[in-house]
């Protein structure tokens, strides 16, 4: 089941006008409304990633600078991995020797020698993917970035490498001479302290070796206690490789670098200008989450059947088992426990629920119940009235009740719509 989605921005989540297509916005809202975490993983600085997100009222974690700085939903830094000054000088020395222009990305701004040179380089990158750049728009956007302090034009970038309150996160070399970039990459790879990647055909991005989207995504997944087996990552270029390699669901864009397509498990049918992110992920959510849901339902039925073996039913000999799925994916089982005075008898459903609550767990997704005389499970065994009331206490509108006789014969019911529609809950006491 997919519980966490990580998406690159440029060439992936954004279209060629640097906007998030409406369908991609719908995907993000759908994911967040269905308890699926969404995180942006971009080579951009945080301050450059925010405008497109805020324009669509999207609040999410942001992996910026290719993993150099990670921000949570509250815009707080949860990790920062600056590149060491000696490695900056090493990198700049190589770029200078090959006459490759470069930019310095710091926590607070991007230092560049020439904004116009940067505009032309970005226009070349757009042309390399088969699109036509809007130079007027690019210049207008660069002017905004300059006014906001997100870009700073300076004569000597090296004067800003070692600022105490504005650490350097990455440096980008830009050139249309691919042979120069190839040679630079080879030289840079000799330094074991840095990671070298690329977000386009005409650039090289250099960070600390631990500042990768892969490292950062792992950190985010651990913070949410979500396994990488339940994580999807999607991107279009080599700086996305680190995160695609570590997740179960790796997706390359239709417009992606050929190498990325080779390592990805899936490739979108549509490109970034056609909302390929939403098109493919909606499909994967439908296929894999539905398949996983069926697997979970069968597992719960089998766990409930197994629980009947422990039923204490010397008086009725009617064995009942229950398996309860928590919001975090844990399963608690329970059996019915009878008593000679009858009234203290506890049903299987309540046994499972009370076990979970006694350990501090109060949020549940579904419960499977099975039962029959002497453990012969031949018909459905619905909960009694008391158990329905207890279930209602700890359930939301999406809670499901599963009744069955085997993993191949069961039905799933929406609890409040089909089992206890006129329920009395804590909401009635407000």
H or E element at residue 101: strand 101-106
d(CA 41, CA 239): 10
H, E, C per residue of 183-217: HHHHHHCCCCCEEEECCCCCEEEEEECCCCHHHHH
**Is residue 347 marked as binding?**
yes
Residue 349 annotated as catalytic: yes
Is position 148 annotated in a ligand binding site? no
Q: Give CA separation, 310 vs 35, 177, 297, in Å.
A: 34, 73, 21
Distances (CA, A) of 125 to 140, 202, 256, 294, 331: 18, 7, 13, 45, 50
Distance CA 155, CA 153 (A): 7
- In DSSP notation, 142-186 reads HHHHHHTTSEEE-S-GGGGS--TTS-EEEEEEE-S-HHHHHHHHH
Check whether 304 is labelled as a binding-site residue.
no
**Residues 205, 349, 397, 418: which is the catalytic one?**
349
- Residue 338 marked in a binding site: yes
The answer to whether 300 and 407 are in contact (CB under 8 A) is no
184 known member of a binding site: no
Q: What's the full length of the chain, in residues?
A: 430
Task: Write the Ramachandran bin of 312: left for phi over 0, alpha for psi from -120 to 50, otherwise beta.
Answer: beta
d(CA 219, CA 216): 5
| Residue 337 marked as a ligand binder | yes
Do the annotations mark residue 387 as ligand-binding? yes
Cβ distance 43 to 7 under 8 Å? no
Is 202 annotated as ligand-binding?
A: no
Instruction: Show the beta-strand stretches assigned E in 230-317.
Output: 231-235, 249-252, 266-267
Residue 341 in marked binding region: yes
Alpha helices (H) in 317-382, listed in sequence order? 348-357
Q: How many CB atoms lie within 10 A of CB 217?
A: 26
Q: Is 263 annotated as a binding residue?
A: no
Q: Which residues are annotated as a binding site?
A: 336-342, 347, 384, 387
Q: Which residues are annotated as a binding site for Zn(2+)?
A: 347, 384, 387
Q: Which residues are annotated as a binding site for substrate?
A: 336-342
Catalytic residue numbers read: 349
């Amino acid at each position: 089941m997919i519980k966490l989605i990580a998406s690159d921005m440029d060439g992936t989540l954004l279209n060629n006008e640097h906007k998030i297509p409406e369908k991609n916005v719908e995907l993000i809202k759908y994911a967040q409304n269905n308890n699926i975490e969404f995180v942006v993983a971009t080579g951009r600085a945080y301050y450059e990633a925010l405008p497109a997100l805020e324009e669509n009222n999207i609040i999410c974690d942001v992996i910026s600078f290719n993993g150099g700085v990670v921000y949570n939903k509250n815009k707080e830094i949860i990790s920062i991995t600056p590149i060491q000054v000696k490695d900056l000088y090493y990198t700049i020395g190589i770029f200078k020797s090959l006459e490759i222009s470069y930019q310095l990305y710091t926590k607070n701004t991007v230092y560049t020698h020439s904004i116009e040179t940067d505009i032309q380089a970005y226009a070349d990158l757009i042309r390399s993917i088969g699109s036509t750049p809007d130079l007027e728009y690019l210049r207008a956007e660069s002017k905004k970035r300059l006014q906001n302090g997100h870009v700073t034009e300076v004569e000597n970038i090296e004067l800003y490498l070692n600022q105490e309150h504005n650490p350097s996160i990455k440096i980008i070399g830009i050139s249309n001479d691919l042979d120069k970039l190839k040679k630079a990459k080879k030289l840079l790879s000799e330094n074991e302290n840095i990671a070298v990647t690329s977000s386009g055909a005409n650039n090289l991005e250099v960070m600390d070796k631990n500042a990768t989207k892969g490292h950062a995504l792992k950190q985010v997944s651990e913070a949410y206690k979500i396994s990488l087996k339940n994580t999807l990552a999607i991107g279009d270029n080599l700086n996305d490789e680190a995160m695609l390699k570590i997740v179960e669901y790796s997706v390359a864009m239709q417009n992606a670098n050929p190498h990325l397509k080779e390592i990805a498990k899936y490739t979108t049918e549509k490109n970034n200008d056609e909302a390929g992110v939403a098109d493919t992920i909606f499909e994967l959510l439908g296929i894999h989450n539905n398949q996983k849901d069926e697997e979970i339902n069968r597992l719960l039925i089998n766990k409930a059947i197994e629980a009947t073996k422990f039923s204490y039913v010397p008086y009725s000999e009617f064995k009942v088992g229950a398996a309860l799925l928590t919001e975090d994916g844990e399963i608690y089982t329970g059996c019915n426990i009878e008593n000679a005075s009858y009234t203290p008898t506890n049903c299987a459903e309540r046994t499972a629920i009370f076990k979970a609550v006694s350990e501090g767990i109060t949020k549940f997704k579904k419960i499977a119940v099975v039962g029959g005389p002497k453990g012969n499970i031949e018909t459905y065994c619905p909960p009694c009235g008391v158990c329905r009331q207890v279930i209602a206490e700890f359930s939301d509108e999406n809670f499901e009740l599963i009744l069955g006789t085997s993993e191949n014969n069961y039905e799933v019911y929406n609890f409040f719509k089909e089992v206890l529609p006129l329920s009395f809950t804590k909401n009635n006491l407000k």
